[in-house]
Structure 1
Amino acid sequence: MTIQKIGIAGAGTMGTGIAIAAASNGCDVRLQDISEDQLKSAQHRIVTFLARQVAKERMTEDQARDIADRIEVISELTVFAACDMVIEAIFEDFKTKATLFENLSELIRGDMPIATNTSCLTVGNLAKHVKTPERFIGMHFFSPAEINPIVEVVRGKDSHPAIVDLGLEFARAIGKRPILCKDSPGFALNRFFCPYTNEAVRALAEGLGTTAQIDHVAQECFGAAAGPFQVMNLIKPQINLNAIRNLDRLGPFYAPVPEMVKLGDSGLDWEIGELDVPDADQTKKIADMLMGGTFLAVLQCLDEQVASAEDIDFGAAHALKFSKPPCAMMNDLGMMGVERLIRSNLHRYKLPTPGSLAMIGQLAA
């Protein structure tokens, strides 16, 4: 089966980005939203993005016009009946998504593939609201979806292998690099990115450094394009907090620290002042805390076979912009070095040593 006509429910930032990516690679797109204002905003964003690409000589005016013509903005779900696949990209709220899937199930044919762009809700729970859940998968795009190359393709408990393969094929067809994931909280990348940001806030709370200093150390340590506080401000601390809260079921290690909850619930951004470069001892303490939390989450992810080491590192490098991705870093540090870094969290939370620790040095990356 070839996906030529794609329906996208939700014309916000993610839905519009997915629409641009699909149309840029030859798909006909029906971009739907119940808000006329949202649809107008989506149209403006599409035109602005394409104009910028023309100005940068990444495409011609004729190519930009063809892409824009392949995107139709609509307010009714009924148009999806003629599509080959539907991707949901609405607000990250379970009840709202569940209602949409129930409505979609009545409007489209029973074998049409449906994907959710959720970043933190489980595919299996959402699938309970889809008629014929075998056709349901996760396709988590990363922002900005029109540019970011990574898509987590999530296989739910009931997802048919042929539909999972179709999701992988469609992702590649629109120029993305898919990462195949098990349906587990946080999937592959948020599984360790959330603890990474949580440990950054813990370092702040324990007085190890300022937000600027912790960002600086993170950038040096992971080769990150931006530090955790800067990234949290970009995606919004409240959204980051919601993602962390969805990992709570994995145990106390994943629970948000009180300072993360306070700032996230306030709706404010982190204050990032001028950088006073930390000394060597300060840098080591911050780096150890960040690496310890990140590495433990990755090792648990590998133990549970959520994703491969190769995919985790590729996603870290291309979605999160870590030029030193975690599995490669652990290979370089060696088993004893990594064990030292995760030891305090293992003791604090009474966790077993991850079996994947023994594979360090041989982790595919």
Structure 2
Amino acid sequence: MTFKQVGIIGAGTMGSGIATSLAQQGVEVVIMDTTAEAVERGLAAATKFYNRAAEKGKMSEADVDAASARLTGATDLAALADCDLIIEAIFEEFSVKADLFKRLNDVVGDNVVLATNTSALRVSDLAETVDNPSRFLGLHYFNPAAINPIVEVVRGEKTDPAIFDRCMDFCRNTAKKPIACKDSFGFAINRFFVPYGNEAVRLLDEGLGTAAQIDRVAQDCLGVAAGPFVVMNLVKPKIMFHAQRNLGPHGAFYSIAKTLAERGDSDYAFEIEEDATGKPENDEVIADRLRAATFFPVLQEVDEDVATAADIDMGAGLALRFGKAPCELMDSLGKDEVRRIVSLVTDNYDHQMPVSVEKVGSLRA
């Protein structure tokens, strides 16, 4: 094992899920949060997961006991002093994360590997708050982290290549499929997945279809297991708001849809109708817009060497359950059709056509 003891800061959904997965794979884990109640909820979530796995015959009682014994809780950062890897999994706000890492400087040695589970913030910006930023990188686990196999391993501008490789191996050794990513807002997967959801809200705002219709068309044209509104209701629209806001530096197309912007941090869910018919005359327009919102960011990140086309497709399939992975789908549609679809973004938002459109047909080669 490349790390003997891992500290997880944040006992919420993501933190407890990462801890659950690692302990099941033989890693000693300290899960830390600001209150004992939060820590107990995180530990209880792990116990519940293990017990359900045992009921399904996926874990033995001995395995349950062993995994549970590897998990301990704490409410003080000092409890993480003996960890050799610490993963931050707290609120997706730069200032909150930056403050945490500044406080960690006084708790752990500068040889301890520090990682952020951010889904969209630049790792290199957070690294500036850390003593010895060469040991800092991104480890973005996907929800539900206890079972989702994908982890984006993000190399910051100052990340030591040896530490990056060590973390890639650690992910493989703990039953995950790592995606090597260059540091960029949104990394490999949320770079396109969040704008795809944002575009669905734009379509709803423009009255081109109902939420149920847009979900239906998405399932057909992209082969997703669940449409964007079902997914946004599961992860909470306010999470999508923050994620899309973090993508803003990429340009005009990444601006936040009207409803997401207006409702911001409030707790709400989209109403999804039982009848998914909507306005069937708009099905083709909706399909084109959803594909454009997916294809354009993917081609941009291929241009920027954020990740390989094969890894982007692996993440789309395994993390997001896209039945038609973006690069494979573009290759099947052909260069002319993809150019037509992507021009819906480039023409309307004054972006350049990605150079990688010329590789369509052999993106995954």
**TM-score per shorter chain, which class?**
over 0.9
Q: Which residue in the other structure is 1:331 paired with?
A: 331
Query: How many residue pairs were aligned?
Result: 365
Q: Which residue in the other structure is 1:282 paired with?
A: 282
CA drift at 1:223: 1.1
CA drift at 1:199: 1.3
Structure 1 residues 264-273 or 79-88, which shifts more? 264-273
* CA-atom RMSD in angstroms: 1.4
Q: Which residue in the other structure is 2:57 paired with?
A: 57
Contact persistence 1:263–1:270 (CA under 8 A):
no
Aligned pairs for 1:33-182 (under 5 A) are 33-182=33-182
> What amino acid sits opposite 1:105 in the alignment?
N
Contact persistence 1:6–1:29 (CA under 8 A):
yes
Q: Which residue in the other structure is 2:17 paired with?
A: 17
Runs (5+) with no aligned partner, structure 2: none
> What amino acid sits opposite 1:82 in the alignment?
D
Contact persistence 2:216–2:276 (CA under 8 A):
no
315 and 341 in structure 1: CA distance in 2 versus 1, 3 angstrom threshold: same
Distance (Å, rounded) in 2 between the aligned partners of 1:96 and 1:352? 34
Contact persistence 1:245–1:256 (CA under 8 A):
yes
103 and 265 in structure 1: CA distance in 2 versus 1, 3 angstrom threshold: closer
SS of 1:107's partner is coil
SS of 1:82's partner is coil
Contact persistence 1:263–1:269 (CA under 8 A):
no
CA drift at 1:66: 0.5
Q: Which residue in the other structure is 1:242 paired with?
A: 242
After superposition, the C-alpha distances for 1:185-238 in whole angstroms (9 at most, x for unaligned) are 111111101110111112212222100000011011111111001101111001
265 and 94 in structure 1: CA distance in 2 versus 1, 3 angstrom threshold: closer
CA drift at 1:262: 2.2
Contact persistence 2:289–2:344 (CA under 8 A):
no
Contact persistence 2:208–2:279 (CA under 8 A):
no
TM superposition score normalised by structure 2:
0.97
Contact persistence 1:150–1:177 (CA under 8 A):
yes
> What amino acid sits opposite 1:345 in the alignment?
V
> What amino acid sits opposite 2:38 in the alignment?
Q
SS of 1:225's partner is coil
User: Which runs of at least 4 in structure 1 moved beyond 6 Å after TM superposition?
Assistant: none
TM superposition score normalised by structure 1:
0.97
Q: Which residue in the other structure is 1:318 paired with?
A: 318
Runs (5+) with no aligned partner, structure 1: none
> What amino acid sits opposite 1:60 in the alignment?
S
Q: Which residue in the other structure is 2:348 paired with?
A: 348
CA drift at 1:46: 1.3
After superposition, the C-alpha distances for 1:269-324 in whole angstroms (9 at most, x for unaligned) are 10111124357642211101100111111111111111110010000001111011
Instruction: State the percentage of identical aligned residues.
Output: 47
Q: Which residue in the other structure is 1:26 paired with?
A: 26
Distance (Å, rounded) in 2 between the aligned partners of 1:92 and 1:358? 36
